[in-house]
Amino acid sequence: MEVADVLMWEGLSSPLRRPVMVLALTGWFDAAGVATAAIEHLVQHNAAEVVASIDCDPFYDFTQIRPEIRLDEEDERIIEWPTNEIIALRFPEFSRDIVVMSGVEPHIRWHTFVRCVVAAYSRLGCEAIVTVGASADTVPHTRTPFVVGSTVDPQLARTLGLSRPSYQGITGVVGVMQTEFEREELPAISLRVGVPHYLGNAEHPQASAALLRQLEHVLGVPTRHGELEEEMERWRSLHDDAVSEDDRALRYV
């Protein structure tokens, strides 16, 4: 299967300025949907232009991630499939634009999927890729989540205060993607935030805000993470109520 068969281009209205790609995928590296929620926040609060998408059909087992039936404004039935859209966000008052991709980790054909992302990166003239993710951690919900940033690029590590990757173990497609970018000698950064393990899959906007804050440092463009404050307060109260009824969870708080 060729990349051209599954990577579908919409086109750009105008050239991008020094773009950086930011990517998050639901699945292994997105505990509680924290990383994809951060990307969706960026898209919702900036002028967004869909420039490409990856055909879902070759990459998913639809008995594991099922499409959904919706009714449109005219009560016509439509089917919504897993989407992987590549979206341009422009920041005219700053020195660069960004390209975001928030999608669904594929079940199969990971190599082809990764090649699609690399092809989009190259065609759009991106200068680097930043993958954002989240994993369960022994961090209490009452504290600001800590974001770990890493890269194998020595210059990026020095400039941004990042460490060299040290993780060994099971990985998802994001880990495969990072390795492929390194093999191609393309600048790649990984940002990972810890999510309280005792909260399960409950939403955690405080962790999304922490990722956005670190992204703002890395990218040099505003992420409007402060606008999550009201949502953070609401969920903090819900988390407090849930933990108050769990003696084991109370030990972490």
Phi/psi of residue 21, nearest 5 degrees? -90, 135
* Residue of 97, 103, 32, 36 lying closest to 65 (CA atoms): 103
pLDDT above 80: residue 245: no
Complete domains list, the chain, with CATH: 3-250 (3.40.50.10900)
Instruction: Write the DSSP symbol of residue 226.
Output: G
Q: Which amino acid is at 194?
A: G
The reported pTM is: 0.90
Span 100-142, pLDDT tens digits: 999 999 999 999 999 999 999 999 999 999 999 999 887 777 7
> Three-state DSSP class for 227?
helix
Tens digits of residue pLDDT in 194-231: 988 776 677 788 999 999 999 999 999 999 998 888 77
CA dist 154 and 183 (Å) reads: 15
pLDDT digits (tens, 9 = 90+) for 138-187: 777 777 888 999 999 999 999 999 999 988 899 999 999 999 999 999 99
Q: Can you read off the two tokens belonging to residue 194?
A: 């810890």
Which of 219, 224, 215 lies closest to 147 in space, CA to CA?
215
* pLDDT value at residue 246: 62
